[in-house]
Structure 1
Amino acid sequence: MKTSRRKFLATALSGGAAIAALPHAAHAQFLNAPRHGLPGTLEERYAKLDAILKQPVFKRELFHDPVIIESVELLVNGKQYLCRVRSKDGHEGISVSNAEQMSVLYPIFVKHIAPFFIGKDARDLEWLITESTIYHNNYKAKGLAIWVPISTIEFAILDMFGKMANLPMGLLISDKIYNHSISVYQANGERGISAEETIEHLKEEVAISKAKAIKFKLGGRMSHIETPPGRSEKLIPLVRKTFGDQMIISADANGSYNVAEAIRIGKLMQQYKYAFFEEPVPFDWYEETKQVADALEIPIAGGEQEPSTHNFRWLVANGGLSIVQQDMFYFGGMVRCMRVARMANAFGKQCIPHISSTGLGYVYMMHFVTAIPNSGPYHEFKEFNNELPYHCATSTLRSDSNGVIRVPTGPGFGVDIDPDFLNQATVLKA
């Protein structure tokens, strides 16, 4: 008989594992994320999810008159890419894009995405997002190529609407604010260095962020080759030994393993009471992801690379994931991300969105987390943007001594970009 989650927790508490006591309550929140024994038949689960996907996300009813988009501009200043949307009646919204991706994708933004939005009613945001994938046959490039440009425009439109209604972004996609602040987990993205070096870097990063949770990389990223060999097996117990029982620890394999290896590594993580195991096998190995999930008690997380709502539907309905991690930029913005969060919530699963590490991605992530009831106890933190001049009147956008960041409460994005920086930017043309 398969070990129940309750029995697993009890065994972990009483057995002779290396860690004598379970970390604090947030750890249990991860471990209690439902996965096994989903209710109803598969057909009934799909029907439930399909009904959720038909529900509107953007609160169009807040805006009674048409808001016709007059211009969509992509600005570049140094390494920073920003989008400026203006309406015919003088409203304006600004977004900060993922600079790393936009430096490559800007021709698609300028030629294949932005022109579709001109002259359209911005209140039809959900329809615009869908139809922009048909324009110029953009659906043939689904993935980062179109979703980063589309999300960049969506964020600017939401900023514009937030300023018009004097509401933060979260209240444009939700009836209430669920989280006024978020606790961060410190992510370390390094591979190819020793376990000992990784530990030292994690110490330095946690000293800055004050995070009470951490995540690091396992394996060799979308391959079965790890450098140096055996790093993961050494690092998993070493991180726990270094940071103690109270640190919430998780790890990301970025699709490094086949099913058998993922299960072996997952069982080691279970022994040391890790919070979740991210992308144990390649992200598009859906059936294999479920096989790993079925074999382990540690929650399986994934979705950073996923471009398809339909594939998330499969993963949720079939119990492949306990934690969905759609990326604000990579998945195409808050509207699409909200649909995934709602599907996950329908079956008691958590949403811990992935964030991009350039621009101000963590601010969009925070706004999104305010709008969902099923957010995890900790959310990703990577780095501060010290190159972009901005001001936020309602938050320092820095974690406090408890590893907590207050979410901006100003209208729209809640962050003001230095006007001189915008005036000095170049408008990219087709």
Structure 2
Amino acid sequence: MPRITSLDARVVSYRFAARPEPLSLGSALRRDVVLVRVTCEDGSVGYGESFHGHAGSAVAEIVNTTMQEVVVGREPHETVAVNAETFRRFVLAAGMSGGLLLALSGIDIAMWDAWGKVKGEPVHRLLGGSATDFEVYGGGFTLGFQPPDELAREVRRMVDGMGFRAVKLRIGDAPERDLARVRHIRETFGGELDIMVDANLGHRYDVGRLAPELGDLGVGWLEEPYPTGSPESFVALRSRGRVPVAAGENLGGAHEFADWIRRGALDVVQPDVSRVGGITEALRIAALARAAGLRFAPHISHSCLNHAATLHVLSAAGGDGLFEADGSVVNPFRDGVFSSETVIADGRASVPQDPGLGVVVDEAALADYPGERGSPFPRT
């Protein structure tokens, strides 16, 4: 097995021509991806995506410095060893879970990609997965705090043009406006469309007060109603039984998910492979969710590197999870400078079958997407 000879990371950015609709977090200026690359001595190259939130250059710096001695010289299949050393030295012992865990995520994905290319197999086969397509719902930046009629037109585009049978709406604006949007989409599309809602940590008001109305409107889940520092609030909301409660994109490794599941805080478990520690850690979380009888519906990040990795995890996790698809019209990190053979049609998403993740990275085109520094969400 060839060894890893180099590890590097860089930020690539796509600035929106027109800023997307606002969410609770505000309106983003751009998409940023921390692109992680591992190169093996046989020439095989693996790519991964690290999420960064508000500090892409900081996460890339961790990959390019601290993580070098953890990764370089190992074989690409040694994902468990890299995970164990990172958690032992940095995440658990030193309390540095944030940036180190994000860096590990992209590295782990890149190592799986490289290993699949070395073996000539797609990642899901290396993981023992056999399911190759999954139910999807439409997410991304396009569904925000726009007026109800505009929101309905955007949902119609996803339903008619992309075949989605489920969408995730954003709440956390104001109670009356939030309910008006959800109610309008339900009245427009009827029971044929599944609706979920995401409060993005519920910054503006206690969105839990909407649970009775959301339940009456048949909402599939209420996502991130509170900051993740207050799991007891999730437990209290879930105990009311009015609407299923979802979270996980802002939780750490499997140890944090185990605590939340033990407390009874979740109905829907939503790790993001680019945040939680990569494919290796996401599979541990999937096992926890399955053992607890909870729904597994991973969160996605910005590029098809993350999207493909998520689909491979869903395959290995048992094939009955739910895939969050990016509903944006334009995303060069989904079907441009990065591209994959993932097909979304008739409400289903297919797993790439090419070796590794099944994603092509156009290295020459990366120069057109120079990385920007700082937060992509301006101060509001």
Q: Single out whichever of 324-333 and 79-88 deviates more from structure 2.
A: 79-88
Identify the residue that residue 48 of structure 2 maps to in structure 1: 95
CA distance in 2, matches of 1:160, 1:130: 19
* CA distance 1:209–1:141, shift in 2 (3 Å): farther
SS at match of 1:208: helix
**Which residues in structure 2 correspond to 1:241-320 (within 5 Å)?**
241-256=187-202, 261-320=206-265
SS at match of 2:332: coil
Normalised to the residue count of structure 1, the TM-score between the two structures is: 0.71
CA distance in 2, matches of 1:108, 1:208: 41
Counterpart code for 1:148: L
Identify the residue that residue 153 of structure 2 maps to in structure 1: 200
**Which residues in structure 2 correspond to 1:325-404 (within 5 Å)?**
325-358=270-303, 360-373=305-318, 375-383=320-328, 385-386=331-332, 388-390=336-338, 392=340, 395=341, 397-400=342-345, 402-404=346-348
Of residues 408, 418, 422, the one that matches 2:362 is 418
Identify the residue that residue 375 of structure 2 maps to in structure 1: none
SS at match of 2:167: strand
Question: Quick check: 2:48–2:306 contact (8 Å CA) kept in 1?
Answer: no
Q: Does 1:240 align with 2:240?
A: no
* CA distance 1:316–1:374, shift in 2 (3 Å): farther
SS at match of 2:65: helix
Q: Single out whichever of 123-132 and 99-108 deviates more from structure 2.
A: 99-108
CA distance in 2, matches of 1:316, 1:150: 23
Identify the residue that residue 78 of structure 2 maps to in structure 1: 124
SS at match of 2:154: helix
Structure 1 residue 85: deviation in Å?
1.4
Structure 1 residue 89: deviation in Å?
4.7
Of residues 405, 408, 423, the one that matches 2:349 is 405
Identify the residue that residue 96 of structure 2 maps to in structure 1: 141
Structure 1 residue 124: deviation in Å?
3.0
Q: Single out whichever of 240-249 and 377-386 deviates more from structure 2.
A: 377-386
Q: Does 1:84 align with 2:28?
A: no
* CA distance 1:317–1:375, shift in 2 (3 Å): farther
Structure (1/2) with the larger strand percentage: 2
Structure 1 residue 272: deviation in Å?
1.2
Structure 1 residue 109: deviation in Å?
1.9
Structure 1 residue 152: deviation in Å?
1.3
Q: Single out whichever of 127-136 and 271-280 deviates more from structure 2.
A: 127-136
CA distance in 1, matches of 2:61, 2:347: 39
CA distance in 1, matches of 2:362, 2:191: 43
Question: Quick check: 1:186–1:209 contact (8 Å CA) kept in 2?
Answer: no
Aligned-residue CA RMSD in angstroms?
3.1
What is the percent sequence identity of the aligned residues?
24
* CA distance 1:342–1:186, shift in 2 (3 Å): same
SS at match of 2:192: coil
Question: Quick check: 2:3–2:41 contact (8 Å CA) kept in 1?
Answer: yes
Normalised to the residue count of structure 2, the TM-score between the two structures is: 0.80
Identify the residue that residue 216 of structure 1 maps to in structure 2: 169
Deviations 1:6-62 (A, max 9, x none): xxxxxxxxxxxxxxxxxxxxxxxxxxxxxxxxxxxxxxxxxxxxxxxxxxxxxxxxx
Identify the residue that residue 186 of structure 1 maps to in structure 2: 138
SS at match of 1:348: coil
Counterpart code for 2:85: E
Q: Which has the larger radius of gyration?
A: 1
Counterpart code for 1:213: A
Structure 1 residue 96: deviation in Å?
4.7
CA distance in 2, matches of 1:153, 1:165: 18
Question: Quick check: 1:95–1:155 contact (8 Å CA) kept in 2?
Answer: yes
* CA distance 1:205–1:99, shift in 2 (3 Å): farther
Structure 1 residue 180: deviation in Å?
0.9
Deviations 1:193-237 (A, max 9, x none): 3334333333334443220001111114xxxxx3xx621122222
* CA distance 1:348–1:374, shift in 2 (3 Å): farther
CA distance in 1, matches of 2:291, 2:242: 21
Q: How many residues align?
A: 347
Deviations 1:327-381 (A, max 9, x none): 1111120111111110110121111000012464222211211111264345343
CA distance in 2, matches of 1:265, 1:139: 39
CA distance in 1, matches of 2:135, 2:35: 27
Q: Single out whichever of 318-327 and 412-421 deviates more from structure 2.
A: 412-421
Counterpart code for 2:181: L
CA distance in 1, matches of 2:42, 2:306: 29
Question: Quick check: 1:199–1:239 contact (8 Å CA) kept in 2?
Answer: yes
* CA distance 1:269–1:108, shift in 2 (3 Å): same
* CA distance 1:134–1:318, shift in 2 (3 Å): closer
Identify the residue that residue 23 of structure 2 maps to in structure 1: none
